């Protein structure tokens, strides 16, 4: 089975922030951020490209958007210093519920506070400053990563020149919050959950598996599932007390069960899943800033907004709303039957858009004015 979501691991370097203050006022005495970089940061610290992963992603950019990374590719390592960090509250190296409390030797679990998308951005902004970044050419992300990218538009240090947000939104709406809640309910229903204070050796694996199965339905579409599975069945063999009993199951059932099991095999932490989905539910560009639409209007930097035509999780209407109110924005809709996962699967189309947008940023840079990147002309025809 092809894995379209990339490997899941904690590979990378670590920066530790001390006494990091969260948006709600709580303080993390020790906050680790795992990150990876590619290319070389220039002497003025102005060629950074920040890539933001989705809900269950990590800092191993090459494993899930590797087709974009490298010399001559959209994330051109001969031009840019590319940075990708595992977000706060995830379970691939950065501090989160699965982190071990040095005082007790046990996972932090539910004692780890709720965090926000803004907290994730604040961590990365501090890490980038520590690494010598003065200006970010663009912050790019899809799904939850698109929320992180859009929130970066409000960051003043380092200076952010542009944002690319794919298949995402400016605030979580009841539809997405409801989907998150039923997934969390599956985890809570697992007897091993123990109010989030389970032992790392006895996680709520069944509940997390079901949550993942639910999510996989929202990432695709009715037509995509029909094309991929139809009503095909496969025969299974169950061993009974006396002899094997042949039975069958629909292909789609086997696929979803396999995805749920694989999620546990990768070691994703249920507590992180809960905290990350809660952070997405809190996402609202207008929270404590004023009127939501006024906040969008206040974003003056160039913003590329891309939709997937068949996305049922973050419908096109949500990206069109962003484009309507963000003054210096452009919206492109990618025609695809793949649903929300199109931001990962439609690599050629999205890569052309990003290449063209970055070419425009390069052309408009006061440091390096030159002829328009040919890819910009190509992408404009999509």
Rounded CA-CA distance 84/81 in Å is 10
For residue 13, what pLDDT is reported? 97
Half-sphere exposure of 233 (CA within 13 A, CB side): 6
Structure tokens that stand for 308 in this block = 């997937």
Question: Which H, E and C letters describe the chain, residue by residue?
Answer: CCCCCCCCCCCCEEEEEEEEECCCCCEEEEEEEEEEEECCCCCCCCCEEEEECCCCCCCCHHHHCHHHECCCCCECCCCCEEEEECCCCCCCCCCCCCCECCCCCCECHHHCCCCCHHHHHHHHHHHHHHCCCCEEEEEEEECHHHHHHHHHCCCCCCEECCEEEECCCCECCHHHHHHHHHHHHHHHCCCCCHHHCCCCCCCCHHHHHHHHHHHHHHHCCHHHHHHHHCCCEEEEEEECCCCEEEEEEEHHHHHHHHHHHHHHHCCCCHHHHHHHHHHHHHCECCCCCCCHHHHHHCCCCCEEEEEECCCCCCCHHHHHHHHHHCCCEEEEEECCCCHHHHHHHCHHHHHHHHHHHHHHHHHHCCCCCCCCCHHHHHHCCC
Cα(241)–Cα(243) distance, integer angstroms: 6
Quote the CA–CA distance of 93 and 221 in Å, as a whole number: 32
Residue 241 within a domain: no
For residue 193, tell me if it sits in a domain. no
Indicate the pTM of the whole model: 0.92
Residue 188 belongs to a domain: no
Domain that holds residue 72: 13-176+284-379
In a domain, 245, yes or no: no
Q: What pLDDT, on the 0 to 100 scale, is given for residue 80?
A: 97
Residues 92, 72: Cα–Cα separation, whole Å: 29
Considering 60, 89, 94, 143, which one is annotated as catalytic? 143
* The pLDDT value given to residue 238: 56
Residue 187 lies in a domain: no
Confirm whether 240 is domain-assigned.
no
Q: Report the domain count for the chain.
A: 1
Omega within 30 of 0 (cis) for the link into 158: yes
State the catalytic residue, choosing from 269, 340, 341, 373. Answer: 340
Alpha-carbon distance of 38 to 47, in angstroms, equals: 12
Tokens of 188: 């809570």
Cβ pair 119, 86 in contact under 8 A? no
Confidence (pLDDT) at 118: 98
Q: Write the CATH number for 28.
A: 3.40.50.1820
- Tokens representing 90 are 């995830």
Q: How many CB atoms lie within 10 A of CB 19?
A: 9
Concerning whether 340 is annotated as a catalytic residue, the answer is: yes
- Answer whether residue 62 is part of any domain: yes
Give pLDDT, residue 245.
Answer: 56
- The residue annotated as part of the active site, out of 269, 311, 341, 373, is 311
The per-residue pLDDT string of the chain (382 residues; one tens digit each, 9 = 90 and over) reads: 335 566 778 899 999 999 999 999 999 999 999 999 999 999 999 999 999 999 999 999 999 999 999 999 999 999 999 999 999 999 999 999 999 988 888 999 999 999 999 999 999 999 999 999 999 999 999 999 999 999 999 999 999 999 999 999 999 999 999 999 999 999 999 999 999 999 989 999 999 999 999 999 999 999 999 999 999 888 765 555 554 555 668 999 999 999 999 999 999 999 999 999 999 999 999 999 999 999 999 999 999 999 999 999 999 999 999 999 999 999 999 999 999 999 999 999 999 999 999 998 887 765 543 333 344 334 434 4
Does a structural domain hold residue 112? yes
Where on the phi/psi map is residue 172: left (φ > 0), alpha (ψ -120 to 50), or beta? beta
Burial pattern 287-315, b for ≥16 Cβ within 10 A else e, equals: eeeeebeebbebbebbbbbbbbbbbbbbb
pLDDT at 309: 98
Q: Is 332 a catalytic residue?
A: no
């Amino acid at each position: 089975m092809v894995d379209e979501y990339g490997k899941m691991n904690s590979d990378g370097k670590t920066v530790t922030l001390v006494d990091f203050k969260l948006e709600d006022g709580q303080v993390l005495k020790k906050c680790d951020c795992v990150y990876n970089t590619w290319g070389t940061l220039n002497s003025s610290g102005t060629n950074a490209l920040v890539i933001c992963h989705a809900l269950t992603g990590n800092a191993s950019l090459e494993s899930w958007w590797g087709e974009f990374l490298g010399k001559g590719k959209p994330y051109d390592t001969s031009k840019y210093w590319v940075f990708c960090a595992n977000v706060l509250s995830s379970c691939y190296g950065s501090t989160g519920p699965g982190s071990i409390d040095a005082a007790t030797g046990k996972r932090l679990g539910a004692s780890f506070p709720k965090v926000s998308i803004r907290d994730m951005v604040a961590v990365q902004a501090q890490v980038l400053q520590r690494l010598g970044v003065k200006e970010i050419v663009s912050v790019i992300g899809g799904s939850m990563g698109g929320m992180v990218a859009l929130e970066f538009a409000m960051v003043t240090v380092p200076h952010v020149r542009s944002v690319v947000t794919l298949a995402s939104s400016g605030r979580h709406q009841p539809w997405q919050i409801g989907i998150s809640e039923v997934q969390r309910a599956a985890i809570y229903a697992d007897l091993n959950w123990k109010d989030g204070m389970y032992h790392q050796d006895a996680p709520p694996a069944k509940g997390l598996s079901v949550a993942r199965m639910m999510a996989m339905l929202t990432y695709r579409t009715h037509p995509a599932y029909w094309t991929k599975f139809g009503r095909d069945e496969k025969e299974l063999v169950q061993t009974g007390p006396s002899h094997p009993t042949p039975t069958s199951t629909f292909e789609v059932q086997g696929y979803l069960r396999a995805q749920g099991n694989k999620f546990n095999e990768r070691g994703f932490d249920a507590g992180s899943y809960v905290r990350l989905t809660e952070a997405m539910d809190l996402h609202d560009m207008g929270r404590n800033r004023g009127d939501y639409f006024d906040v969008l209007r206040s974003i003056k930097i160039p913003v590329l907004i891309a939709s997937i035509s068949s996305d049922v999780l973050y419908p096109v209407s949500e990206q069109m709303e962003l484009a309507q109110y963000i003054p210096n924005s452009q919206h492109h809709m990618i025609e695809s039957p793949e649903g929300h996962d199109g931001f990962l699967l439609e690599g050629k189309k999205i890569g052309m858009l990003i290449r063209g947008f970055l070419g425009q940023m390069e052309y408009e840079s006061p440091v390096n004015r030159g002829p328009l990147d040919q890819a910009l002309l190509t992408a404009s025809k999509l």
